[in-house]
């Protein structure tokens, strides 16, 4: 990235990402909803993720401090087997897909990630982990679209997959009117996959 004046802060979170095959399964299930709800703000499929810890705006100089301990943490955790399952809403405005599978391992990984972040001196809100994949946000005053989208996923259960990498992600949220964009700052293979090229 060749920015003349890089921003002083970056919005950061730590997440897992479903593989392309899982994204395609869910995309197929959602295709009718894309047509019936073109007015909602759909998240880009390539940005779908399961947030383990939301760090908020960090000074760009803080981000490198997270890399070594997160790399060590990733190496020490086996990949949890997860699947996309069903759907729901938050506050009538956000539609999401649920996560099924080895949720104990997922919660343990998230707890260890949060410990590492706090040990690096980054304050975190103590919110319980609610594993999900955010799909769409609706406008204020729209009290039906999110629930209609979620209802389309009532019977959906995707195939299981191993969450292969721990992602440190930055976003441009709050830097303009366009769609939020995410980019990997770095990603590390979860333990047992170090020999896997990808």
132 is catalytic: yes
Clarify whether 159 is annotated catalytic.
no
Angstrom distances, CA of residue 151 to CA of 146, 147, 154:
9, 6, 5
* The two structure tokens encoding residue 113: 């990630």
User: Which of 37, 49, 77, 167 does the annotation list as catalytic?
Assistant: 49
Which entry of 37, 77, 132, 167 is annotated as an active-site residue?
132
Q: What does the alpha-carbon distance between residue 27 and residue 163 come to, in Å, rounded to a whole number?
A: 19
Bridge partners of 81? 162
DSSP assignment, residue 119? H
Contact 65, 120 (CB under 8 A): yes
Q: Where are the beta strands (DSSP E) in the chain?
A: 9-16, 41-42, 50-59, 81-90, 94-101, 132-137, 161-162, 165-171, 182-189
Bridge partners, 162 (sequence order): 81
Q: Which two tokens stand for residue 48?
A: 């779908």
Q: Which residue has the tokens 């980054």?
A: 122
Which residues participate in catalysis according to the annotation? 49, 132
């Amino acid at each position: 990235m060749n920015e003349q004046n890089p921003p002083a802060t970056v919005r950061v979170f730590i997440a897992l990402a479903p593989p392309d095959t899982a994204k395609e399964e869910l995309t197929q299930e959602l295709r009718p909803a894309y047509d019936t709800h073109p007015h909602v703000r759909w998240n880009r499929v390539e940005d779908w993720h399961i947030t383990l810890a939301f760090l908020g705006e960090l000074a760009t100089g803080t981000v490198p401090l997270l890399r070594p301990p997160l790399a060590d943490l990733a190496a020490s955790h086996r990949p949890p087997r997860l699947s996309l399952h069903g759907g729901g809403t938050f506050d009538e405005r956000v539609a999401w897909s649920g996560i099924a599978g080895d949720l104990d391992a997922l919660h343990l990984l998230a707890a260890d990630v949060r410990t590492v972040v706090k040990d690096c001196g980054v304050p975190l809100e103590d919110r319980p982990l609610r594993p999900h994949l955010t799909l769409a946000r609706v406008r204020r005053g729209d009290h039906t679209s999110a629930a209609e989208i979620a209802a389309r996923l009532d019977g959906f259960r995707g195939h299981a997959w191993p969450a292969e990498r721990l992602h440190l992600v930055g976003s441009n949220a709050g830097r303009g009117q366009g769609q939020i964009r995410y980019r990997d700052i770095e990603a590390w293979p979860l333990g047992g996959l170090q020999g896997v090229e990808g």
